[in-house]
Amino acid sequence: MKYLFANWKMYLGVKESVALAKTIVAMTRKIQKNNLRLALFPTSLAFTDVVSVCKGSRVAVGGQNCAWTPAGAYTGAVSAQMFRDAGAAYMIVGHSERRHIFGERDSDVRKKIDACLSAGIIPIICIGETREERENGKRQYRLKKQLMSACQGLDVKDNEIIIAYEPVWAIGTGDACAPADTDDVHGWIAHELRSYTSAQVPILYGGSVDAENVHNYLALGTVHGLLVGTASTKKESLAAIFRAARV
C-alpha cells in the first residue's frame, strides 16, 4: 500500500477543483486494483464541494493548511476542527511554501500538528532543506531540527502522523531528488523517527514528481508514497501518473 496525494496548492478554483475531482473519482472507479491510498488537497473554498464529489469513493480529502486553535477571533483562519467537521481526513502541515513565503516557524508547525491530532486529522508534516543548506552540508541539521520540533513528546499510534520529505530545491523546479538520494534520506529519517516514537510513520516524497519518474519512487521500500503538486493539477498528467503508478 502506498500513498498518492495531490496538493493542488492555489492552482485550481472551485469549478476546476470539482471537475478534476469528478474525473479522478470516475478514473478510480474503473480501476480494480486497490494498492494506493488516494487523497486530494483542494483550496479551502472548494473543500466541501470536493468532499461531496468524493463521498462513497476511495478518494479522501485533506486541507492544505489550518489554524492551531479550534475557534475564536482569528480573522481569515480555518481550524483543524472545522476541516474535520467538513470531512477532512488529512492536513498538510508546514509545507515549505508556508514556511518560506508565509514565515511559519517550527514552533507554529508543531502547534498545528497538535491541533490536527486533537481534531482527529492525520497531519502530513512537511520537512525539507533549501538548496543552500544542501550545498553547505546542512541537510541533516535542518531535517533533524524540523523533526525534533515536530515529533518530540508526541504520543501517536501507527499511521497517525505522516512525514513528507520535500526538499525545497526540488519543489516546482523539475529538479527532482534522485531516487538513490531519496532512498538514503528516507532511510535516515526513518532512523531519526525512532528517537521519538515506536509507531509506524509513513514517509512520503514530494518535489517535481511526474508520470516519468513516479515509478522510480514508488519502487523504493523507504518511500511510502508521494505528495504531488503541479503534475496533479491537470487531468492528463494525473491520469498518466495513475497509469504509471498502476492504481
Judged by CB under 6 A, the chain residues 120 through 179 that form the site for ligand 13P are 166, 171-172
Binds ligand 13P (CB under 6 A): choice among 151, 168, 209, 247: 209
Catalogue the E-assigned strands of the chain.
2-7, 36-41, 59-63, 90-93, 122-127, 162-165, 203-205, 225-228
- Minimum distance from residue 89 beta carbon to ligand 13P (Å): 16
Binds ligand 13P (CB under 6 A): choice among 44, 230, 237, 239: 230
- Minimum distance from residue 63 beta carbon to ligand 13P (Å): 13
215 assigned to active site:
no
Q: Rule CB under 6 A: is residue 187 a binding residue for ligand 13P?
A: no
Local structure of 158: helix, strand or coil: coil
> Which residue, 116, 7, 122, 14, is CA-closest to 64?
7
Paired with 2 in beta bridges are 36
Per DSSP bridges, beta strands 90-93 and 203-205 are unpaired
Torsion of CA 68, 72, 74, 76, to 10 degrees: 90
Q: 44 vs 69, which CB is nearer to ligand 13P?
A: 44
129 assigned to active site:
no
Number of residues that bind ligand 13P (CB under 6 A): 14
**Catalytic member of 129, 133, 160, 166:** 166
Q: Rule CB under 6 A: is residue 237 a binding residue for ligand 13P?
A: no
Query: In 10 A of CB 172, how many CB atoms?
Result: 14
Residues lying near ligand 13P in the complex (CB under 6 A) = 7, 95, 166, 171-172, 206-209, 227-231
Catalytic site positions: 95, 166
